[in-house]
Amino acid sequence: MKNIALLVMIGFLMLSGIPVTMALSQSDIHLSARVIHQGELSLIRIHVENGETPLVTWMGEKVHLVSNPEKTDWIGFLGVDLTAGPGRNDVVVKMSDSGPEQRLNMEIREKDYGVRNLTLPQNMVDLDAETLARVRKETAVTNALWEAEPSSPLWDGSFMKPVPGEVIGPFGRRSVINGHPRSPHTGVDLRGKKGTPIKAINDGRVVLTGDHFFSGLFVVIDHGGGIQSMYFHMDKIQVQQGEMVEKGAIIGSVGSTGRATGPHLHWGVRVNGARIDPSQLVDKSSQLEE
């Protein structure tokens, strides 16, 4: 009898257009992509009916989820670093600490972002001992940010571009300078005249400002939940370290400080430490407004 009742119910749900999976399980998990390339993101959405707090783990790290006020719909981002190894990786979802885990398999694929060969005067490439020591110190300061325990999410809804200009330096491209391979481009370069206002891409807290050898005047915003954005080669910084900023707030202006060939904005994003293409964050999060 019970089975007949269930079949009748499924038939009714199918006719009514309500997804059957929701009726049969307590949760509904949706991933925007099951195949992710290096430097890309997948958006995870989880629907729960009974007030549970889903726990998501991706590549050994906790994924910080944001929910609606009713706590029925949860979202988060799974990032794959630019240099992550290809292969299968599972997203692990639990509805409670002691509950059973559900594994959703994901596949990471390599992506060819291209190579650029540059010839520069050798004295522009070789750093003297003093500069090298400075660069090492500055790298340690920024690395500490990526390694810090993530704070609770401050971001909300979709992410925006910091300046309207198009991409003039693509993400992930490798440079070979005077025949020697260099590290790949870990952000995008956006077109912008000197003085163009730079806007915070979402709500967050300014965790670091400074003037580094390569980045020039820069700002790092922590959006919480393991998402950070950074803005390099600025002409002016108009925020203070520790300040809370809202999405769209002006944090400074475009310049060519540090090692830059001309005015532009280098914009980078990290998600749980993974260096991803910032435009992925704008694209994937735009689905949140629907």
Which residues contact Zn ion by CB under 5 A?
189, 266
Residue 38: CA count within 13 A, CB half-sphere: 17
Q: Which residue's CB is nearer to Zn ion, number 89 or number 228?
A: 228
- For residue 107, give the nearest of 91, 96, 118, 123 by alpha carbon: 91
Q: How far is the CB of 275 from Zn ion (least distance, A)?
A: 12
Q: Distances in Å between the alpha carbon of 143 and those of 137, 208, 251?
A: 10, 12, 22
Q: How far is the CB of 193 from Zn ion (least distance, A)?
A: 17
- For residue 108, give the nearest of 56, 38, 33, 31 by alpha carbon: 38
Q: Which residue's CB is nearer to Zn ion, number 40 or number 189?
A: 189
Residue of minimal Cβ distance to Zn ion? 266
Q: Which residue's CB is nearer to Zn ion, number 150 or number 216?
A: 216
Nearest-angstrom CA–CA distance, 79 and 229: 14
Q: How far is the CB of 283 from Zn ion (least distance, A)?
A: 19
Q: Which residue's CB is nearer to Zn ion, number 153 or number 192?
A: 192
Q: How far is the CB of 174 from Zn ion (least distance, A)?
A: 13
Q: Calculate the CA dihedral of residues 181, 186, 191, 194 and round it to 10 degrees.
A: -90
Nearest-angstrom CA–CA distance, 59 and 80: 9
